[in-house]
Structure 1
Amino acid sequence: MLVIATVLLAVCGLGLLAVPQAREPSGSPKAPGSSAPVTRSPAASPARGSAANDVPAPAHAASNPTRGAAAVSALPPHGEGVAGDRAIQEALDAAWPPDLPPGDARQLLAMGRSLLRADATGAGRGRWPAVFTAEGRALAPAFARFRIQAAIARRDGGGGRAVVHLVWAGADRGGTYTDGRITDWRFTHTTRKGSPTWTPLPRT
């Protein structure tokens, strides 16, 4: 038995020696971690409007995306202060070209600014009884250090309607000061005592 086992082991050893060793793939060896090229992700596109400054391009700017994108890309960063207000105004004007008679635009802007100030600070709410109810007029002011940064008045569809789009800054009751706040006031064209005028619509 011992002789048979020895013979079998010898035969197996010869068989293993007869099998050729596998060759390694041609080419120089690669360094660890370099088996695949590094793929660079594409650069992120610049944030627009509300993503960058909470000042979105008005809806009408969608009719000319190139102009709207170019306008909002020039918006100043948050915290720029009064120095950045002009850039915001220019961006709004470029993104949403004027479409109202100058007289109407001036009237709407004056009313929109007054309404926003009354709404944010409480000053002058009694001037707008159709907009601010008695309960609303009694509410404590919600904002301090109020400042309007930019404003435009434009048509709001058809039917004698318009919208005043305002960008403003203020500190809330908690003392947090934020610029780039957005408010829209809508108006309808009416006639009072034979004179056409703009009437603010209650906010819903």
Structure 2
Amino acid sequence: MTTAPRRSSRLLLLSTVVLAVVGIALLGVPHGQESPATATVTATASHATTDPSSAAATAPAGKPTASTDPSPTSAASTPPSLLESALPPHGEGVAGDRAVQRNLEAAWPADLPAEDERELLTAGRALLRADATGAGRAKWPTIFPDSGVAVAPAFATARFRIQAAIARRDGNSDRAVVHLVWAGMDRGGTFTDLRITDWHFTRTIEKGTATWTPQPRI
């Protein structure tokens, strides 16, 4: 089981990567101006949350803000061509997700076998969807004890979207974590993107077959 300090440091680092995109975008805007796209991303980044389920209790009240600011030093020293390629296209929607994915992959180089990474990403995406929208919770009764009870979803299925995801080792070869960045509309009608969630897994071997088992959220 991953300790709280380890999870907190990873979430802060993940927040830094996401917010770095916003910081880079600001460098490309003339002084005194702010593009609509940049304003939208900046506003949504300040509403990042690490627990989809908690939104049901707080919507439509404000959400926790990311506490780590992007460092302008690395962005300022990057060649303009690289800055441009790292920026999400102007405007909202799926088009900007590729830049978020690139930043995650650059921040955490792959360190798992391809087969394990695929398995973890599939499970991590499904767990996040189940946690946020309630869809598919019955598959993980130990993670969602209320899966047999009618529960109002915290986020609308139609407005839920995973923007980026990576799976990496979590300390040793028998532990892994799936980092996800996502967007959704809560029950209060507020849509925000660049939300951050981690799902932790441990590897167990049963009858000679290795399986990644998700761990309950703390």
Scaled to the shorter chain, the TM-score interval is 0.5 to 0.7
What letter corresponds to residue 175 of structure 1 in structure 2?
G
**Is the CA contact 1:79–1:179 (under 8 Å) kept in the aligned structure 2?**
no
- Give the equivalent residue in structure 1 for 2:116: 104
Deviation for aligned residue 1:81? 1.1
In the alignment, structure 2 segments of 5+ residues that lack a partner are 1-15, 23-41, 49-72
**Is the CA contact 2:132–2:154 (under 8 Å) kept in the aligned structure 1?**
yes
- Of 76, 83, 95, which aligns to 2:107? 95
Q: Deviations over 1:85-132 (max 9, x none)?
A: 111111111111000000000000000000000000100000001111
Distance 1:115 1:92 in 2: 19
Distance 1:161 1:125 in 2: 23
1:82 and 2:94 correspond: yes
Distance 1:125 1:87 in 2: 30
- Of 161, 179, 182, which aligns to 2:175? 161
Distance 1:202 1:129 in 2: 10
- Give the equivalent residue in structure 1 for 2:36: none
Instruction: Report how many residues are paired.
Output: 147
- Give the equivalent residue in structure 1 for 2:145: 133
Closer, same or farther in 2 for the Cα pair 1:100/1:120, shift >3 Å? same
**Is the CA contact 1:149–1:167 (under 8 Å) kept in the aligned structure 2?**
yes
Distance 2:90 2:129 in 1: 21
The runs of 4+ residues in structure 1 deviating greater than 4 Å are 69-73
The structure that is helix-richer by fraction is 2
**Kindly, what percent of the aligned residue pairs are identical?**
65
Alignment of structure 1 residues 30-41 onto 2, 5 Å: none
In the alignment, structure 1 segments of 5+ residues that lack a partner are 1-47, 56-64
Deviation for aligned residue 1:134? 2.5
Distance 1:94 1:151 in 2: 12
Q: CA RMSD in A?
A: 2.9
Deviation for aligned residue 1:192? 2.3
Q: Deviations over 1:38-92 (max 9, x none)?
A: xxxxxxxxxx54544538xxxxxxxxx969x979993538962100011111111
Distance 1:137 1:180 in 2: 30
Distance 1:163 1:78 in 2: 31
What letter corresponds to residue 141 of structure 1 in structure 2?
P
Deviation for aligned residue 1:158? 1.8
- Give the equivalent residue in structure 1 for 2:208: 194
- Give the equivalent residue in structure 2 for 1:30: none
Deviation for aligned residue 1:160? 0.9
Higher RCO (C-alpha 8 Å, min separation 6) = 2
- Give the equivalent residue in structure 1 for 2:132: 120
Alignment of structure 1 residues 169-184 onto 2, 5 Å: 169-184=183-198
**Is the CA contact 1:125–1:137 (under 8 Å) kept in the aligned structure 2?**
no
Deviation for aligned residue 1:191? 1.2
TM-score, normalised via structure 1 length: 0.64
Distance 2:83 2:109 in 1: 14
